[in-house]
């Protein structure tokens, strides 16, 4: 009988290999019996051979993620071309989705398009934080990517783990007001609240972004929502006063 095992820390042969991560295995020809739980009984070794263990090379999906994170555009292109042409170099759905998030974070429009053509999903939650590609692109102000994702069916009102929509995330000190217009044109919920009960309007007032405030009010944002009317009115008055003085 041929069995696969390892040398334990005590220097003994053990056929169980799942409790350690050895760097070498021993292939044994033995006349011993192996009991149902996998342990040897009275091992009688006849011949042995040591096989060096090497970590397997990264899969194409991991290579793709590494290439995107390092900014290696040629490697990304090559891996996606191989994925489309070679069945032995396919990239998993999970890796494609994760790569789409990274490409959106980097603002790589060309690779966002190519990843979607290769099968990356734009409509569903894509990581443990429920963050979608649209969330990331909207937050970073990548208008072309947001437009593309929306036309590919991205859910404009999807929420992350903090119940932020893309519209709420798009309101920030950088002032991506055109982003708000695009999202609202695709039926973004203007009065959606996150886990802190903040709306896009409240964030715009806090950021003193008068242009965003005007856009949101024009879209019929409710300044009276959740009893916060006095806060909104005071801050809005201050913003307008400071803007004109």
55, burial (CB in 10 Å: exposed 0-12, middle 13-18, buried 19+): exposed
The answer as to whether 83 is a domain residue is: no
At residue 122, the pLDDT reads: 83
Indicate the average pLDDT of the chain.
78
- Please give the DSSP secondary-structure letter assigned to residue 186: T
Given pLDDT bands bounded at 50, 70 and 90, which one contains residue 127? low
At residue 108, the pLDDT reads: 92
The answer as to whether 216 is a domain residue is: no
Q: Are 158 and 166 in contact (CB under 8 A)?
A: yes
The whole domain housing 16 covers 2-52
The answer as to whether 217 is a domain residue is: no
The answer as to whether 43 is a domain residue is: yes
Q: Are 205 and 199 in contact (CB under 8 A)?
A: no
The answer as to whether 150 is a domain residue is: no
* 146-172 average pLDDT score: 95
| 94 has a pLDDT exceeding 60 | yes
The answer as to whether 58 is a domain residue is: no
Top mean pLDDT of 45-49, 59-63, 122-126, 221-225 is at: 59-63
At residue 1, the pLDDT reads: 41
Q: From residue 2, give the alpha-carbon distance in Å to each of 14, 32, 174, 207, 237.
A: 13, 10, 66, 70, 83
Q: For 11-15, 149-153, 178-182, which range has the lowest pLDDT when averaged over its residues?
A: 11-15
Given pLDDT bands bounded at 50, 70 and 90, which one contains residue 224? confident
* 14-40 average pLDDT score: 47
At residue 20, the pLDDT reads: 41
**E strands present in 72-133:** none
* 157-172 average pLDDT score: 94
Per the structure, the count of domains in the chain is 1
* 110-125 average pLDDT score: 86
The answer as to whether 160 is a domain residue is: no
The answer as to whether 25 is a domain residue is: yes
């Amino acid at each position: 009988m041929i069995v696969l095992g390892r040398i334990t820390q005590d220097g003994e042969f053990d056929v169980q290999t799942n409790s350690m991560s050895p760097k070498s295995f021993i292939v044994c020809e033995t006349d011993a019996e192996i009991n149902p739980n996998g342990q040897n009984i009275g091992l009688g070794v006849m011949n042995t051979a040591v096989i060096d263990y090497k970590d397997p090379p990264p899969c194409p999906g991991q290579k793709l993620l590494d290439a995107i994170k390092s900014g290696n555009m040629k490697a990304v292109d090559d891996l996606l071309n191989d994925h489309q042409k070679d069945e032995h170099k396919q990239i998993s759905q999970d890796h494609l989705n994760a790569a789409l998030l990274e490409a959106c974070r980097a603002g790589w429009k060309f690779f966002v398009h190519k990843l979607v053509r290769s099968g990356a999903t734009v409509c569903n939650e894509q990581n443990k934080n429920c963050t979608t590609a649209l969330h990331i692109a909207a937050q970073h102000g990548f208008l072309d990517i947001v437009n593309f994702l929306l036309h590919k069916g991205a859910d404009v009102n999807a929420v992350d783990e903090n119940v932020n929509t893309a519209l709420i995330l798009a309101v920030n000190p950088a002032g991506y007001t055109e982003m708000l217009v695009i999202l609202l044109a695709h039926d973004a919920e203007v009065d959606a609240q996150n886990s802190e009960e903040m709306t896009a309007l409240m964030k715009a007032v806090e950021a003193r972004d008068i242009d965003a405030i005007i856009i949101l009010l024009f879209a019929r944002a409710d300044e009276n929502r959740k009893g916060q009317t006095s806060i909104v009115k005071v801050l809005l008055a201050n913003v307008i006063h400071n803007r004109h003085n």
